[in-house]
Structure 1
Amino acid sequence: MATTDSARPDPPSERRAPAREMSSVARSADGRRIAYATYGPPDGDPVVFFHGTPGSRRLGALLEPAARANDVRVIAPDRPGYGRSPPQSGRTVGDAAASVRPVLNDLGVERAALVAFSGGAPYALATAASLGDRVTGVDLVAGATPPSFGDDTPAVQRLLSGLAAATPSVLGALLRGQAWVASRADPSFVVAQYAEDADAVPEDAATVVKEDFLAAFERHRNGAVTEFRDAGSDWGIDLDAVDAPVRLWHGTDDANVPVAGAERLAEALPTAELRVLDGADHLGTLLRAAPEALSRSR
């Protein structure tokens, strides 16, 4: 079922305050470090946040005000090869739960909801399929969709996936150069990759987006290269194994992931609801959907 929401977000001053991040490290079954941050009240209802591609735990700061308003504790891990989490050799989309389960166990969380942005969507779905009733619900916000769902994938996304598969070292060098430029540029340089009008994005949100991008590459580039490769191939997820209710939030003006793909993904999932946000671009969908997604994850 699809519904359209034409509501606009609240003014920035009413939406966000400085985020208070608490960082920690969990250990996977094979001894890998999994860095994660938490936002919101420590005793709030747990929600695992899956950052985009590229991305890091720092993007969870965008959700912190909504987390406090809804008594939700946002748990935001760095996926392998991002931020402070070292790469995982040979990892695939289907391995996602191996990096989420240890974080939940480290925090003593038995059951949690999942919220994913952009390239985090396949990893959230894979986690839901693997963890079963430990997952109470899944919200995919401007989520990536399987490449088999159509030929409307933007040319830039196809190029990145092709480079990751054929010449990963070249893509790694390009990402290193992009991070170098981003570290010296105004936040709008990074925001422009996710928003139609970068100058219209609130300054505090733009700052978080830049910090997230830089944190993604602070120690590794492997994560982005691996995920761009996986984005262009079969995800290897049994969508019928996702028993938890799924909500998809997608903007009509999303140039990064066209809404048509979200419509197909909603049809392919056993229990899914699609909310279409009128006039929202890629980042705008996250800013507009986050408060309600968190409130419905409780």
Structure 2
Amino acid sequence: MPHSTEDKETKFFKLTDGRRISYLEYGDSKGKPVILLHGIHHSRLMFGLIPGFPFSDKARFIVPDRPGYGMSDTYKHGFAVIDYYKDIRELADYLALDKFSIFAFSGAAAYSLVCAWRMPDRVLNVGIYAGVGPLNEVSNRGIIPPLKLLYWVSDIMPTVASGIMDSVGILIRKNFSLYNKLLRSRLTETEQVLHSKLSPPEGIVSDRLEGFRQGGRASTYDISLARNWPVPLEEISTEVHIWQGSDDRYTGSMGEYMAELIPNSHLNIVDGEGHYWIIDNLKEMLESLVEVRL
């Protein structure tokens, strides 16, 4: 039977360069493997908050903390998304995964696409919801001005942006109710209803605390990728499914822009939905990747 977040114990794997990856596993060890990548400000605990996850035991879900989040060590010489495929390749080898799917939420899009680009022989397909992609005059349509500014500051003044992210982490630790109130104030009514379905409440706090366990540098770096895009999208041969809410104020038209450039992509625009449509529809998206009813 599926296990909740509370039932899970964090596992660790040591990479050849000495760094440590922390991760959770769900489902059947013999099921179709899917690596799930959490969003900015989140951690390995994120997916366990979604109602019903992991839905069944027909798939095997591996959920790592990305470098600098939770208990995963950051890179020894600064952040380098372009090398992330090496981490996933080593973890997959350790877990005896020959081929696997990847699903990414929001700021994890670049990480999933690096893996698809550099490991086309291992990555069966990729799914992305509300993915942060290249920021330009086309893709920024619909993004709220404060976030456009944050994308810019994270690139031009990373120290300032990291300080902002650190202050967010402090607010989460000191006054989570205020943080949650500020977060919800930026959501549409539909998104507020969806966000209220995340459970349990203490799990939401734990996820965000883990997301900022090591401070805000990882979040700052991931946000900066929008202006320093690392992946040549035209060179990705792997099948990529992209879902994008038409009213997503965090990523605007980034999903549409990426889909136009990735040769083997499938774009799904979700009319009237925003950044948190994933909460009610993760199961549907994962089924598209593993081709199994969960």
* TM-score relative to the length of structure 2: 0.85
CA shift, 1:75, in A, is 1.0
CA shift, 1:71, in A, is 1.5
Q: Distance in 2 between matches of 1:33 and 1:193?
A: 36
In the alignment, which residue of structure 2 is the partner of 1:287?
279
> Secondary structure of the equivalent of 2:131?
coil
2:250 pairs with 1:256: yes
AA at the equivalent of 1:178: V
In the alignment, which residue of structure 1 is the partner of 2:133?
145
CA shift, 1:204, in A, is 3.4
**Match among 223, 234, 238 for residue 240 of structure 1:** 234
In the alignment, which residue of structure 2 is the partner of 1:90?
78
In the alignment, which residue of structure 2 is the partner of 1:80?
67
In the alignment, which residue of structure 2 is the partner of 1:211?
206
Offset from partner CA, 1:118-156 (integer Å, 9 cap, x none): 011111001111111211110011111211453434422
AA at the equivalent of 1:155: P
Matched-pair contact (CA < 8 Å) for 2:50–2:197? no
**Match among 177, 194, 203 for residue 167 of structure 2:** 177
Alpha-carbon spacing, 1:205–1:46, altered in 2? closer, same or farther (3 Å):
same
Matched-pair contact (CA < 8 Å) for 1:72–1:294? no
Offset from partner CA, 1:197-222 (integer Å, 9 cap, x none): 36423343473444322211113432
Q: 5 Å matches for 1:4-153? A: 18-19=4-5, 20-62=7-49, 65-69=52-56, 71-88=58-75, 89-148=77-136, 149-152=138-141, 153=143
Q: Distance in 1 between matches of 2:214 and 2:28?
A: 29
In the alignment, which residue of structure 1 is the partner of 2:268?
275
Alpha-carbon spacing, 1:193–1:18, altered in 2? closer, same or farther (3 Å):
farther
Matched-pair contact (CA < 8 Å) for 2:237–2:263? yes
Matched-pair contact (CA < 8 Å) for 2:39–2:104? yes
Alpha-carbon spacing, 1:273–1:199, altered in 2? closer, same or farther (3 Å):
closer
In the alignment, which residue of structure 2 is the partner of 1:12?
none
Aligned residues: 280
Matched-pair contact (CA < 8 Å) for 2:244–2:256? no
CA shift, 1:228, in A, is 2.1
2:181 pairs with 1:189: yes
Alpha-carbon spacing, 1:240–1:248, altered in 2? closer, same or farther (3 Å):
same
Q: Distance in 1 between matches of 2:185 and 2:28?
A: 31
Q: Distance in 2 between matches of 1:292 and 1:180?
A: 35
Q: Distance in 2 between matches of 1:193 and 1:126?
A: 34
Alpha-carbon spacing, 1:281–1:173, altered in 2? closer, same or farther (3 Å):
same
Identity value in percent: 25
Matched-pair contact (CA < 8 Å) for 2:28–2:57? no
In the alignment, which residue of structure 2 is the partner of 1:4?
none
Offset from partner CA, 1:274-296 (integer Å, 9 cap, x none): 11222221012x12331112112
CA shift, 1:78, in A, is 1.0
Alpha-carbon spacing, 1:193–1:83, altered in 2? closer, same or farther (3 Å):
farther
> Secondary structure of the equivalent of 1:247?
strand
Gaps of 5+ in 2: none
Matched-pair contact (CA < 8 Å) for 1:138–1:246? yes
Matched-pair contact (CA < 8 Å) for 2:139–2:256? no
**Match among 146, 152, 155 for residue 162 of structure 1:** 152
AA at the equivalent of 1:192: R
AA at the equivalent of 2:162: G
Offset from partner CA, 1:218-262 (integer Å, 9 cap, x none): 1343211222222222x221223322211111112211111x332
Alpha-carbon spacing, 1:270–1:139, altered in 2? closer, same or farther (3 Å):
same
Matched-pair contact (CA < 8 Å) for 2:140–2:251? no
Structure with the higher fraction of residues in helix conformation: 1
Alpha-carbon spacing, 1:274–1:97, altered in 2? closer, same or farther (3 Å):
same
* TM-score relative to the length of structure 1: 0.84
Q: Distance in 2 between matches of 1:190 and 1:290?
A: 25
> Secondary structure of the equivalent of 1:115?
strand
Alpha-carbon spacing, 1:262–1:107, altered in 2? closer, same or farther (3 Å):
same
Alpha-carbon spacing, 1:161–1:206, altered in 2? closer, same or farther (3 Å):
farther
In the alignment, which residue of structure 2 is the partner of 1:202?
196
